Structure 1
Amino acid sequence: MESWIELKKSQPKVVQLLQRSLSKNRLAHAYLFEGSKGIGKKRVAIQLAKSFLCKEREGAEPCQVCLDCKRIDHGNHPDVHMIEPDGLSIKKQQVEHLQKEFTYRGVESGKKVYLVSEADKMTASAANSLLKFLEEPSAPTLAILMTERAGNVLPTIQSRSQQLSFSPLSKEIFINRLEKEGNTKALSTLIASLTSSYEEAIALIESDWIAQARSVVIQLNEELYERPHQVFLTIQDKWIPTFKERRELELGLDMILLWLRDLLYTQVGKTDQLVFVDQQTLLEQQALSSSQEKTSQNMSFVLEAKRHLSANVNPQLVMEKLFFSIQEG
């Protein structure tokens, strides 16, 4: 069970608007929640359904203990209906089934709620059928549509819904969430520094690629100071086989940039902001043998390498030129 107060920590603007609307009993009849996967759209939608149906609500906050709240928590409330893609799309038959359900009066409360997940995946006929709901809402009814791509939703549906944009999770919340899912602090911190997309974060973790890539980046940066003659062999033997795809190469250069930023933070005494949190000893050793000016210059070399990569320069040449520039200074 979550409260609006807890949800507000991750989505303050969206939650504040909904709380105000609930307190004044001025909810729109339809909402379009837009934002990347994993940032709380469905959690907010469920909470809004509770507040809409809860008879013991105080202000915006549902009681969490009445029959309505408990049934919504367990996913079996007879007046809350969820539509999700059937295969690759949401089909007209699914919307027609929903229309049939809505011909009956609300079983528990006289109200009805329907939630549409991945609303951008509605077929044209399904979208047009749903549009009739929005044009002629059967009060009291609440529609909540959720999507990662609002631009792909039928414009007439967009215009008849109140669109709320969900912000990417803050880095701190992102890290905490990844840790709660069983990932190490070191890996969670790195991933949250590389992407704000929860979907991409999970894909990176599930592939096991990110842990291997992180090890290669640490090895390269360690060799740069302790075994510089080994760097180009490691690029050939470790970097090239690990960083094959364009997105992997981009993330690899981003990781090198994050390492150098950590080195700069170490040089100025801001070790509480490190991304490579388990490598502080190595970073402190490197900080003693490099100046802030040199570290800043190396960061500019990485940015130049990213530009070369975008211009389709051979990835191995990009890396060799990068580390040659860093070594020569």
Structure 2
Amino acid sequence: MKRTWADLEKTQPKVVKMLKRSLEKDRLAHAYLLEGSKGTGKSAVALQLAKSFFCQNRQATAAEPCLSCVDCTRIEHGNHPDLHMIEPDGLSIKKQQVEHLQKEFTYRGMESKKKVYLVQDADKMTSSAANSLLKFLEEPEAPTLALLLTEKGQAILPTIQSRSQQLTFSPLPRDEFVARLREQNFSEGISNILGSLTTSFDEAIELTNGDWIAQARTVVIQLMQELYDRPNQAFFTVQEKWVPLFKEKKEQELGLDMILLWLRDLLYTQVGKEVETFVDQTKLLQQQALSSSQEKLSKSMAAVIEAKQYLHANVNSQLLMEKLLLDIQEG
């Protein structure tokens, strides 16, 4: 898929604007460290920068590559002879890989004098590989462009960080994040709950291991329905379903976050705002909105936040939940 800088700017406006200005003024740095969680567009931006760097038809004061010349086409198809990529060999990037790259760079460019190297998961370099790359960064052979991609910027050697221009990629906007999860074949309900719980694509995928998140979501919906329809039953649900499922503190915290998200959707329903998380439960939310007040919902949300604070004080999970249910009922 051929993308323009304008397309990429929609998701990473700060990063793209800065790079476009550098291209337009012909002031590219010799090395960039692209840092951000998975799915934020680091690779797409890196390849676009390579296209602009190599493009034969790009105007001197413009940023956009033509996307149709030989250089742009070869980068698009992953076979440009002067764009070299390194990625982990197994669990790490090894010194031999960097040495091979350095050897490649001693040869004259196949298409032009320019060369680009792109390092995926740069934080996974061994110490010897990182030191070898550092020497390469300190003595760049112009015109050379180094693009280092990482999800863990702080794991990169400080000396490499100081010799690179660091670009931090923001988490995807919620709608795009949810759409990306939908592309992974997660249901609408699961995608929306994940989009409300985290901004990290990796964490979202980790939460879907097994079917815990789906079970947790179902229990939360049941619990919130019972609180309004059959309040006494809710206490049995805590004992029979909540306690066995939400065993670890992290799971209990996620469960409380889901309850908070339900109450937020309920508040959105009351004020006529679109539901964000429990999008498939709008009818139930509308019914509950009729018997709730904004004041009661605010108190309920405050009670959940207080419960999260008690959770870190090692309070018994069942007692914590029973107190929370009473607080929500009383409003």
Q: TM-score, normalised by structure 2?
A: 0.94
The answer to whether the 8 Å contact 2:275/2:282 transfers is: no
The equivalent residue for 1:293 is 295
The answer to whether the 8 Å contact 2:171/2:199 transfers is: yes
Amino acid at match of 1:316: Q
Amino acid at match of 1:204: L
Classify the secondary structure of the residue corresponding to 1:50: helix
The equivalent residue for 1:2 is 3
Deviation at 1:315, TM superposition (A): 2.1
Deviation at 1:160, TM superposition (A): 0.8
Which region of structure 1 is more displaced relative to structure 2, 191-200 or 238-247?
Answer: 238-247
- Looking at structure 2, the residues matched to 69 and 209 of structure 1 have their Cα atoms a distance apart, in angstroms, of 44
- Looking at structure 2, the residues matched to 132 and 206 of structure 1 have their Cα atoms a distance apart, in angstroms, of 41
Is the counterpart of residue 185 in structure 1 residue 178 in structure 2? no
- Looking at structure 1, the residues matched to 170 and 137 of structure 2 have their Cα atoms a distance apart, in angstroms, of 25
Classify the secondary structure of the residue corresponding to 2:118: strand
Is the counterpart of residue 171 in structure 1 residue 164 in structure 2? no
The equivalent residue for 2:229 is 226
Aligned to 1:325, which of 320, 324, 327?
327
Amino acid at match of 2:302: S
Deviation at 1:19, TM superposition (A): 0.7
The equivalent residue for 2:13 is 12
Classify the secondary structure of the residue corresponding to 2:208: helix
Deviation at 1:235, TM superposition (A): 1.3
Q: How does 1:129-278 map to 2 (within 5 A)?
A: 129-270=132-273, 272-278=274-280
Deviation at 1:206, TM superposition (A): 4.6
**Residues 274, 38 of structure 1: CA spacing in aligned structure 2 closer, same or farther, 3 A cutoff?**
closer
- Looking at structure 2, the residues matched to 107 and 74 of structure 1 have their Cα atoms a distance apart, in angstroms, of 17
Amino acid at match of 2:43: K
The answer to whether the 8 Å contact 2:57/2:65 transfers is: yes
The equivalent residue for 1:21 is 22
Which region of structure 1 is more displaced relative to structure 2, 162-171 or 9-18?
Answer: 162-171
Deviation at 1:48, TM superposition (A): 0.8
The equivalent residue for 2:97 is 94
The equivalent residue for 1:30 is 31
1:92-114 Cα offsets, whole Å, 9 max, x none, are 11111111111111112221111
1:268-309 Cα offsets, whole Å, 9 max, x none, are 222x14321111111111111122211111111100110011
Deviation at 1:197, TM superposition (A): 0.6
- Looking at structure 1, the residues matched to 241 and 195 of structure 2 have their Cα atoms a distance apart, in angstroms, of 24
Amino acid at match of 2:141: S
Classify the secondary structure of the residue corresponding to 1:207: coil
Deviation at 1:182, TM superposition (A): 3.1
- Looking at structure 2, the residues matched to 73 and 326 of structure 1 have their Cα atoms a distance apart, in angstroms, of 55
Classify the secondary structure of the residue corresponding to 1:193: helix
The equivalent residue for 2:55 is 54
Percent of aligned pairs sharing the same letter: 69
- Looking at structure 1, the residues matched to 78 and 304 of structure 2 have their Cα atoms a distance apart, in angstroms, of 49
- Looking at structure 1, the residues matched to 96 and 284 of structure 2 have their Cα atoms a distance apart, in angstroms, of 60
Deviation at 1:314, TM superposition (A): 2.4
Count the aligned residue pairs. Answer: 328
- Looking at structure 2, the residues matched to 311 and 115 of structure 1 have their Cα atoms a distance apart, in angstroms, of 46
**Residues 71, 244 of structure 1: CA spacing in aligned structure 2 closer, same or farther, 3 A cutoff?**
farther
Classify the secondary structure of the residue corresponding to 2:222: helix
Classify the secondary structure of the residue corresponding to 2:108: coil
- Looking at structure 2, the residues matched to 254 and 303 of structure 1 have their Cα atoms a distance apart, in angstroms, of 9
Deviation at 1:165, TM superposition (A): 0.9
- Looking at structure 2, the residues matched to 309 and 203 of structure 1 have their Cα atoms a distance apart, in angstroms, of 23
- Looking at structure 2, the residues matched to 46 and 314 of structure 1 have their Cα atoms a distance apart, in angstroms, of 52
- Looking at structure 2, the residues matched to 40 and 313 of structure 1 have their Cα atoms a distance apart, in angstroms, of 41
Classify the secondary structure of the residue corresponding to 1:10: coil
RMSD: 1.6
- Looking at structure 1, the residues matched to 300 and 14 of structure 2 have their Cα atoms a distance apart, in angstroms, of 39
Q: TM-score, normalised by structure 1?
A: 0.95
Classify the secondary structure of the residue corresponding to 1:113: strand
Classify the secondary structure of the residue corresponding to 2:113: coil
Aligned to 1:314, which of 313, 316, 319?
316
1:211-247 Cα offsets, whole Å, 9 max, x none, are 2211111110001111112112211222223223332
List gaps (5 residues or longer) in structure 2.
Answer: none
Deviation at 1:261, TM superposition (A): 0.9
